[in-house]
A and B are shown apart, each in its own frame.
Chain A
Amino acid sequence: MSTLTRLAGSEARLFLREPMSVFFALAFPAVLIVVLGNAIPAFSEPSADFGGELPINLYLPVVLALAVGTVTMTSLLTVLSQYRERGVLKRLATTPVKPSALIGAQLIVNIGALLAGSALMMAAAAVAFGSRGPENWPGLLVAFLLGSAAMIGLALLIAAVTPNSRASAGVGSLVYFPMLFFAGVWTPGDMMPEGARRVADFTPLGAASQAMQDAWYGDWPQPLHLAVTAGYIVVTGVLAIRLFRWQ
């Protein structure tokens, strides 16, 4: 077994022992959809305003974006900055294993949790409301992966430039809530005001959410949204690698 696999296995075990991270990464998207759909009866009845669609279905790609934002800005960011602050990375630097391997293991675990949580959400929507999946699977996967990578890059960058875990948590939530807004969590689909949407196009999670919504309804994501997420990946990735301190 390679060191990275071993570390990822160990980090996955630790992840599963943390009830809060398990809930928010794995269960939260599904719980949110089921609760929303049941709390507001109109959400799960076909609506003429939405072309005969269930309004709850509008939420599915948006909740995918929310899941991406939650895993990267809370779970991943917290662990990365704690590992540096508490000297876990520094201790590893004294062994034949590079501390970057532990960060790699954390990425594997968080991406795995994100995929599992998203799949669970779609399955829950299918069971509870008979929702169909996305009409353009390849388009959705591309948008989901680009959006996730852009937000991971942002998490790495915040972990790199903040002095301690309290500061990273603070900056993380300053980023998290506006990102949810631009992703359309409060204004899904066409409900987002035009001005806000123009800003959202240029935020990593807003662009990813738009791209996932397009793919959900069978279109291909707009080149602008893919380019924006790809741009964030490059910029945050390069800066994070340059600025990250291991201790």
Chain B
Amino acid sequence: MTVIEVNGLSKRYGDRTVVDGVSFTVAEGEIFGILGENGAGKTTTVECISGLRTPDDGSISVLGLDTRTEREQLRRLIGVQLQESQLQDRLRVGEAMQLYASFYPDPADWRELIAAVGLTDQVRMPYAKLSGGQKQRLSIALALIGNPRVAILDELTTGLDPHARRETWKLIRQIRDRGVTVLLVTHFMDEAERLCDRLAVLDGGKIVALDTPAALIANVGDVDGYRANLEDAFLALTGSGRDN
């Protein structure tokens, strides 16, 4: 079953086209990655899919809902983790979880979720005192508090140490195993390769490739006598217009 359907999405800011005719579909229970360099249009794409921005062209449907006209219904069914979205300095972890849980008709158990992201010891800690990684993990927990059917996660593991990144990946797989569809934005190759079932590679606002990580790598073959990895595939796909 198709959960996300993006058709000819374009978004311009002034005369700069940031997203240019992007189309893809995501199936239920899939972990779908959007991979690209800074400024490739990843965040704008997922903000349009989340209903935070209105596309200039194209249509997007999530769980059968039009993201332009049915935003209210959509927001009960999706969980979104945004880049650089903070909380009130003096709001405590437990308070934030309970407050956000109260927004949804059928929220998850916030204590379970806070344990899953490893913040049980910080429940009484105010947001401002959390480390960067702890803030990131709280942000993930808040995106999942409404028991969403689709989780949209932008730069999921930025700022996390390697241990916390592995833990977060494990959490994302667990969520998927419960039937949640995950749309993931990343610029980390290893994360895209390990976690995603399929990847859309974005360059200059356009999708330049869309396949499983393994297939993207296989298309490149060997590079300088070594077996290619995802980074080689990425560089081969996005190299156009640059010197090297």
Stretch of A92-100, A112-120, A124-132, A190-198 lying at the B interface: A92-100
Most chain A CB within 10 A, of B72, B78, B86, B142, is at B86
Given known pairs A14-B91, A96-B104, the reply for A88 and B75 (CB within 8 Å) is no
A6, CB-defined interface residue at 8 Å: yes
Contact with B along A215-247 (1 / 0, CB 8 A): 000000000000000000000000000000001
**For the complex, what is the distance from the CA of A86 to the CA of B84, rounded to whole Å?**
7
Cross-chain contact B91 with A10 (CB below 8 angstroms):
yes
For the complex formed, measure the closest distance between the CB of A186 and the CB atoms of chain B, giving whole angstroms: 35
Chain B residue numbers with a CB within 8 Å of A7 are: 99
Cross-chain contact A91 with B82 (CB below 8 angstroms):
yes
**For the complex, what is the distance from the CA of A87 to the CA of B52, rounded to whole Å?**
12
Cross-chain contact A10 with B99 (CB below 8 angstroms):
yes
**For the complex, what is the distance from the CA of A94 to the CA of B50, rounded to whole Å?**
7
Number of interface residues of A (CB under 8 A): 21
Given known pairs A94-B50, A96-B72, the reply for A88 and B99 (CB within 8 Å) is no
Contact with A along B118-155 (1 / 0, CB 8 A): 00000000100000000000000011001000000000
Cross-chain contact A95 with B50 (CB below 8 angstroms):
no
Cross-chain contact B87 with A88 (CB below 8 angstroms):
yes
**For the complex, what is the distance from the CA of A7 to the CA of B126, rounded to whole Å?**
17
Cross-chain contact A96 with B82 (CB below 8 angstroms):
no
Residues of A bordering B, CB below 8 Å:
1, 3, 6-7, 10, 13-14, 17-18, 83, 86-88, 90-91, 93-97, 247
Smallest Cβ-Cβ distance to B53: which chain A residue: A247
Contact with A along B100-123 (1 / 0, CB 8 A): 101110000000000000000000
**For the complex, what is the distance from the CA of A90 to the CA of B87, rounded to whole Å?**
10
Cross-chain contact A91 with B142 (CB below 8 angstroms):
yes
Most chain A CB within 10 A, of B50, B85, B87, B104, is at B85
Cross-chain contact B146 with A87 (CB below 8 angstroms):
no
